[in-house]
Amino acid sequence: MEMEPDLSDLKIGFIGAGNMAFGIAQGLLMSGKVQPANVMVSAPSDNNLGRFQERGMVVSHCNADVVHSSRLVFLAVKPHLIPIVLQEISPAVTLRHTVVSVAAGVTIATLEQLLPSSTTVLRLMPNLPCVVQEGALLFSRGSMAGGEESELLKALLAPCGLVEEGPESWIDAHTGLSGSGVAFVYLFAEALAEGGVKMGMPSALANRIAAQTVLGAGRLLRDSGKHPAQLRSEVCTPGGTTIFGLHVLEQGGMRAAAMGAVEAATERARELGRKKDQLKCAKSTK
């Protein structure tokens, strides 16, 4: 039986104080294994730092301070800021540090090139529901990251939702499926509610019921372990309301549209990643 990593004395830093950093930080504290005083967060202004400070975390305007004070550092800034931030903090990064990037489209190769040689790097792709500890997170190891770092990240992030590890080639597909997929679900929930309004239900009530329908269906799908098709068939009765409704969705091409949306979002993520790599190469040759 593997021993769970000891997190009580681990010093953790966040460079960037947006919603994703806040969601992950909240998850870390919810476990009770990470003390707020052991978490430090930096951002250029006070706009987003107050909510971290209210929960007992240390805040700063200096990114280098975060690196000096931490062993595990989350890079949670916009992708276009990654080269600037890494240039700033690189002198403070040592072999004792583990750097975890949540910047979309920034590859492990880019991170490893911009950071000092032999830096331990992992790439993490969370999604918006991390802010309510119901996220879907996928991470990949860099060339210097091993099983110890993998187990540490899994133990830390478990309160944030589902945490999976896979090759970096899966990250873009995860972006299309789960990162962008959250918006696809919201669109479907919106359409469900509008259907209720069309049939005479008050808008506010229709939206509450649509939200609960999505939540309940998702929990049942996750917790039952059944395939979606099996659960769908269990709702249908011969000649009943559900099969008539499903027929209309199939006629409208919903299945193909959903698959196409995931494909389009994935390809866009790959395209953005290639552009960032090209930019990195261009800068490195100057």
Binding site as annotated, residues: 15-20, 63, 76-79
Coil/strand/helix, residue 212: helix
Tokens of 280: 């990195």
- Known binding positions for NADP(+): 15-20, 76-79
- At 193, which helix (H) or strand (E)? helix 181-198
CA dist 42 and 63 (Å) reads 6
DSSP state of 197: H
Are 175 and 181 in contact by the 8 Å Cβ rule? The answer is no
CA dist 252 and 256 (Å) reads 9
Cβ of 59: how many Cβ atoms within 10 Å?
20
CA dist 62 and 40 (Å) reads 10
Tokens of 222: 């996750």
Coil/strand/helix, residue 120: strand
CA dist 51 and 153 (Å) reads 23
- Known binding positions for NADPH: 63
Residue that is written with structure tokens 């239900």 in the block: 201
Cβ of 249: how many Cβ atoms within 10 Å?
12
Burial of 36 (0-12, 13-18, 19+ CB in 10 A): middle
